[in-house]
Amino acid sequence: MGLLAAAYFAAAKVSLMFAIPPGYATAVWPPSGIALAAALLLGPRCWPGIWLGAALVNLTVAASPFAAILIGTGNTLEALTGAALVRRYIADTPPYFDRVRNVVMFVAFAAVCSTVAATIGVGSLALERSVPWPEFVPNWGTWWHGDTAGIIIVTPLILTWIVRYDIAWSPAKKWEAAGFASSLLLTAFLVFGNGTPKFSSLPLTFVILPFIIWAAFRFSRREVTTAIAAVCSIAVWYTVERQGPFALDTLNLSLLLLLAFISTIVATGLMLSAAVGERNRNREKLEQALRDLREQASTDPLTGLANRRSLWEFLQREWIRARRRKCPIAIVMIDLDHFKPVNDTFGHDAGDYVLTEVAGLLKTHVRASDIACRFGGEEFALVLPDATLDAVRRRAEGIREAIGRLEPGHRGRRLGRVTASLGVALFPDHADDPESLLRAADQALYEAKTTGRNRVLISSASRARPQPSRAADFKQQA
């Protein structure tokens, strides 16, 4: 709390250098932004630090203890009121400015909660006759203006810098940031300073907006709030010095135009930054949804293996590669023996459990360059690029033996021993196109099923012998 009180006190002393007598109000009051940021980050328990800093700073400007206590109370209530509104209607924790709606509400809440400190502060000075009652309204307006401007400039600056960003800038991004900062500052000095009469006599404040748009689209909210704070600081400095486009004959009109400019810059920058963030989040959600759809379209929902469509696409790609590089490619068809009695005896839940167990086993027996697919029902298929006939035979035998050792249990019941029949076909030995290769493996599987089951058979098909099988149906379904 001591650190908060010291930060409030130091910021207030600097701000009071630009105070507008007799009410010690300033065009921008940064301590109000510090207080609201502290209330949002630390919660209501930070009120002693805010109150102490505000009371002490007012004691140093010839205010009576009575007025200092009341002003400190008003500043504290202002911060707590603003924090309560933000937490109630925007968010409990950062980020607070990630949506356009939140930015609009924050600017409105800043204007609302600033009435608390302005009313109590100017009222206390009027009660002790430091401010004549006829001057209550003008001083109230100046106080309210300063607190509102301080909140909408400083609070977003603190809250965006307090959040950690792990985004590394490329060298090109750093050069862009340097060019942006230098051109923004140069333009701000030309627009608001009187050192260049050709510019100061022209209403050129609108040229600041392209830089705010640049920051919103190319950088994060941290850079946006920093750019806003820099521009507003320059505008306030020259306006208080009675220079620049807002230095009018009437002080209240000058402050009103300055507040309108600050509000426009803050709202534009934060809303654009929020809109860009929303667009990026929506794009990420859309990309994730597309990835999920692709996975659903290519994955069997029960086993998590590839489906027929994925197998066919993979087989076509690998076939082209095998023909170009003159390397072999194999297909292994797998069918679980006597699977129907498992469903009939123990139920389909038990059958599904067996299928998932076999699928998990197949995942451990394929390389990263292979693909395992649930072909349909209790049938599975493997596509093995760059595999020789002997290697495929050994792997198929290993899979058959591993399936035979499963003996799965479901809901406390033993489902019995599971066996499988496997058919193997190889390019270029048994086929010269994907359909023929699949047909040859399917025929070998059929022969394994009809000659005793629980075995591996290599296709005896020749490349020139077309045989009807399910390959054409598979291609059409895929």
Query: What global pTM score does this model have?
Result: 0.68
For residue 152, the model assigns a pLDDT of 93
Chain segment 166-186, per-residue pLDDT in tens:
678 899 999 999 999 999 999
CB-CB contact of 376 with 389 (8 Å): no
pLDDT bucket at 89, cuts 50 / 70 / 90: very high
pLDDT bucket at 147, cuts 50 / 70 / 90: very high
Residue 10 has pLDDT above 90, yes or no: yes
Residue 26 has pLDDT above 90, yes or no: no
User: What's the average model confidence in pLDDT over 141-162?
Assistant: 92
CB-CB contact of 457 with 403 (8 Å): no
Q: Count the Cβ atoms, other than its own, within 10 Å of residue 409.
A: 13
For residue 114, the model assigns a pLDDT of 95
CB-CB contact of 150 with 31 (8 Å): yes
For residue 194, the model assigns a pLDDT of 63
**Phi, psi of 20, deg, nearest 5:** -105, 105
Mean predicted lDDT score pLDDT of the chain: 86
Tokens of 349: 């839940």
Comma-separated ranges of CATH 3.30.70.270 domains in the chain: 308-477
For residue 5, the model assigns a pLDDT of 93
Provide the β-strand partners of residue 306. 299, 373
Is the model more confident about 133 or about 63?
A: 133
Class of domain 308-477: alpha beta
Question: Whose structure tokens read 């009103």?
Answer: 256
HEC-encoded secondary structure of the chain: CHHHHHHHHHHHHHHHCCEECCCCEECCCHHHHHHHHHHHHHCHHHHHHHHHHHHHHHHCCCCCHHHHHHHHHHHHHHHHHHHHHHHHHCCCCCCCCCCHHHHHHHHHHHHHHHHHHHHHHHHHHHHCCCCCHHHHHHHHHHHHHHHHHHHHHHHHHHHHHHCCCCCCCCHHHHHHHHHHHHHHHHHHHHHHCCCCHHHHCCCCHHHHHHHHHHHHHHCCHHHHHHHHHHHHHHHHHHHHCCCCCCCCCCHHHHHHHHHHHHHHHHHHHHHHHHHHHHHHHHHHHHHHHHHHHHHHHHECCCCCCECHHHHHHHHHHHHHHHHHHCCCEEEEEEEECCCHHHHHHHCHHHHHHHHHHHHHHHHHCCCCCCEEEEEECCEEEEEEECCCHHHHHHHHHHHHHHHHCCCCEECCEECCCCCEEEEEEEECCCCCCHHHHHHHHHHHHHHHHHCCCCCEEECCCCCCCCCCCCHHHHHHHC
For residue 469, the model assigns a pLDDT of 47
User: What's the average model confidence in pLDDT over 210-235?
Assistant: 93
How far is CA 474 from its chain centroid?
Answer: 42
Could you tell me the CA-to-CA distances from 201 to 5, 191, 198, 205 in Å, in that order? Answer: 42, 9, 6, 11
CA separation for the pair 315, 384 (Å, rounded): 9
Q: What percent of the chain has pLDDT over 70?
A: 92
pLDDT bucket at 412, cuts 50 / 70 / 90: low
CB-CB contact of 51 with 4 (8 Å): no
For residue 85, the model assigns a pLDDT of 96
Q: Which residues of 246-280 are buried (b: 16+ CB within 10 A; e: fewer)?
A: bbeeebeebbebbbebbbebbbbbbbbbbebbeee
Residue 265 has pLDDT above 70, yes or no: yes
For residue 32, the model assigns a pLDDT of 95
